[in-house]
Amino acid sequence: MTGNPGLAAGVGAPPAWAGFRSLRVSRIDHESSSVFSLVLVPADGRPLIAAEPGQFVVLRLRPNPDAPSILRSYSLSDTPSADHYRVSIKQEPNGLGSTYVHTHVRVGDVLDVSAPRGSFTLQPGERPIVLLSAGVGATPILAMLHALAAAGSPRQVWWLYGARSHDEHPFAQESRGLVQMLPHSRSRIWYSRPGSNDRLGREFDVAGHLDIPALEELGVPRDADFYLCGPSAFLHDLKVGLVAWGVAADRVHVEIFGPGESNTPGISATPVRSPHAPEGAAGEGPQVSFARSGLTVRWGEKYQNLLELAEACDVPVRWSCRTGVCHSCESGLISGAVSYGPDPLDPPAAGNVLICCSRPQDDVVIDL
């Protein structure tokens, strides 16, 4: 069964492979003071599948040999290709995954990598395209810019980016060159804290922050398709601001790093807690990993389904019917297998899972 992709919003083609493939690090590039890129090639020589611009992959890492592996999702950041993938990672001061990759991974090392996933992808059409990003949020947006430049797109393309300073501005020269390849492009760079050597009109165009008044001043068209990625406050302010500015909500496309928002109808809002292991004794069943939440726990028989386990861990979830009918809970199944009870009215799309009526058959990794 391949499932009914029409029941879940934003479901595209199924993942190119289940679980993880071994990819070798062929190059490591430093993009800014805190962002570095890994170029990954197949360890077995078999070609990859070119991702859709904007998609991400999941890396399975093992910083501690005596502890469970950890999972980290990273956007692909260059031209879609079947011979290599490039992921660009910001080293966070307390980031377990990014620090491990930065300090331990070397050229020649082999990593476990999932197939590209995600519905935050460049949509076809003729409308103008506005690419809005800040910080390391440039990564999936840059892949879109690469794809547009490679195709010689005749569409009007706006590259609008914010950083603190040139020292923290990854892909500066790369993005500038791509913009110049597009016949109908505009670019504007904001620095919120320009360095003493940062020159207005050269490294950056505006001192300050990217916001709605700035878009209005630039004459950005409201009938464009907008693609946003960056820090949570940046995303919230721009998403709300664009709709209030008159942009149709279905033309505002947002990529969120980390868990998404919950959608639990009829349940009163509760304080947001970080994902955590469930209270009480640990289960003895298969490992269940919530990739975006960075959490791995054991399945316990006290749970009726994966949705109940996710709720016990305060992993943000979406649901409506809780009986396998509406597909609101449909999520990516990165690896592993599940059984259903009750059987869903329609199966999920290939590579996905309905968490409201499924239980793990073996270790599973879910895109939540």
Q: ∠ CA 107-110-111 to the nearest 5 degrees? A: 115
Looking at the structure, tell me whether residues 35 and 86 fall in a common domain. Answer: yes
Domain tally, the chain = 3
Which tens digits make up the pLDDT trace of 23-65? 999 999 999 999 999 999 999 999 999 999 999 999 999 988 8
Is residue 11 situated within a structural domain? Answer: no
What's the pLDDT band for 2 if we cut at 50, 70, 90?
very low
Domain assignment present for residue 269? The answer is no
Judgement on whether residues 50 and 89 belong to the same structural domain of the protein? yes
| Residue 8, in any domain of the structure | no
User: Do residues 74 and 170 both lie within one domain?
Assistant: no
Task: Please report whether residue 12 resides in a domain.
Answer: no
106 and 146 both lie in a single domain = no
* Structural domain ending residue among the three candidates 114, 138, 157: 114
Are 225 and 324 in a shared domain? no
What confidence tier does 17 reach under pLDDT thresholds 50, 70, 90? confident
Q: Tell which phi-psi region holds residue 273, choosing left (phi > 0), alpha (psi between -120 and 50) or beta.
A: beta
When mean pLDDT is compared across 19-23, 144-148, 324-328, the lowest value belongs to 324-328
Regarding whether 212 and 161 lie in a shared domain, the answer is: yes
Rg (CA), the chain: 21
CATH code at 236? Answer: 3.40.50.80
pLDDT above 90 for 4: no
Domain assignment present for 187 = yes
Domain that holds residue 240: 129-255
Q: Could you read off the pLDDT of 149-205 as tens digits, one per residue? A: 999 999 999 999 999 999 999 999 999 999 999 999 999 999 999 999 999 999 999
Q: Which amino acid is at 4?
A: N
pLDDT score for 268: 42
CATH no. for residue 309? 3.10.20.30
* Sequence-ordered list of residues with C-beta below 8 angstroms from that of 263, at least 6 positions apart, any chain: 317, 318, 319, 320, 328
174 and 248 in a single domain? The answer is yes
Same domain, 180 and 133: yes
In a domain, 313, yes or no: yes
In angstroms, how far is the first alpha carbon of the chain from the final one?
Answer: 23
In a domain, 359, yes or no: yes
Residue 64 covered by a domain: yes
